[in-house]
Structure 1
Amino acid sequence: MDLRAEINYPTDDPAVAYSLVVDPVFRGEVCEATQALDYDVAVEEHHDGGATVTVNRVMSADVADAVKRFIGETVEIVQTEEWGAPDVSGQRTADLRIKIVGQPATMNGTLQLTLTGGSVTSLISGEVKVAVPFFGKKIEPEIAKAILGAIRQEQRCATKWLGG
């Protein structure tokens, strides 16, 4: 299932938006805003100016009962972002991977921090996949809904942090 969304950062400087997405304190606040039961944020900066951001969180399975029977009462989600170095305008791209631990559910895609119309936008695109014959396509919208909910919380936190 195709998933597209965006987060608008109230800044005209891609470096400011990037510093937020690699800030473990900010990412922890986003985890708290998503009501994570437990979480860990790790940021590994690379010599080329990029970074790996790994967010591991345990969430209540806030999904339809049919899906909950499949995944359980809680889910452990590992989100990994492999950020590259900035281009000449300061914009960046990351490979995005989201995995529900112990389940055949993933999202693979990209994040692009771009300057658009005086603010920085993170363009999120990817493919949500649940590899379960006959049933996976019915679960994918529930997984996408949860991912979009987390994106909305990150938008709220970014607006609060950057004063927009």
Structure 2
Amino acid sequence: MARRIDHSAHYPHPVSTVHTALTDERYWRAWLQEVGGPGAKLDEVTVGDGTIDVAMTQSIPAEHLPSMVTKIRPGDLIITRTESWHALQGDHAEGTFSALVDGTPGRLRGTMSLTADADGSLLVMEGEVEVKLPIFGGKIESVIAEQVIELIEAENNFTARWTASI
């Protein structure tokens, strides 16, 4: 059974400013350097007219993982992520994200929506984590969901600082 991940972030900047950041290759390079973790790298970036498709690799060191996870999958977790943002349509943009953990039957995927609100913009992420392992799958989903929320919060803090400098 999949575990839901729902998260939102408010930015005190217009949607166009936040969208400009999220579709800028420089943002992603800086983001990975600051938030990406050890060995994080940008594998591929395709920038279009107000769009972006990003593929990256990140890792979570084994010492930061619960023993329940390292017993099933020893060593660092290598995560391949993608994120895509579509062109801005007025004060609204849509995106998608996904992640696969190397050597595990698990995945993360979802959608993102960037919209205007009263004082700036709102980014809403909705997704799910699914780990297809008998007995332990649900527990591992909970751990991954918790780690993803922590990462998303760090990403939101970075995005807030980045957009303030635009």
TM-score calculated relative to the size of structure 1: 0.86
What SS class does the counterpart of residue 84 from structure 2 fall into?
Answer: strand
CA distance in 2, matches of 1:23, 1:40: 16
Deviations 1:62-101 (A, max 9, x none): 22111122222311112212222222x2311112111112
1:109 partnered with 2:110: yes
Count of residues paired in the alignment:
161
Aligned to 1:73, what secondary structure does the other structure show?
A: coil
Task: Give identity over the alignment, percent.
Answer: 21
Are residue 118 (structure 1) and residue 119 (structure 2) matched? yes
2:25–2:47 contact (8 Å) kept in structure 1 = no
Cα shift readout 1:36-80 (whole Å, capped 9, x = no counterpart)? 111222320235x42212222122142211112222231111221
- 2:23–2:51 CA contact under 8 A, matched in 1: no
Residue aligning to 2:81: 79
SS in structure 2 of the partner of residue 38 of structure 1: coil
Equivalent position SS for 2:112: strand
- Structure 1 residues 3 and 52, CA gap change in structure 2 (3 angstroms): same
Q: Structure 1 residues 26 and 82, CA, compared in 2 at 3 Å: closer, same or farther?
A: closer
Residue 66 of structure 1 aligns to a residue whose secondary structure is helix
Q: 1:45 and 1:32, CA in 2 relative to 1: closer, same or farther beyond 3 A?
A: closer
Structure 2, unmatched stretches of 5+, are none
TM-score, length-normalised on structure 2? 0.85
Match of 1:8 in 2: 10
Return closer, same or farther for 1:52/1:35 CA change in 2, 3 Å cut-off: closer
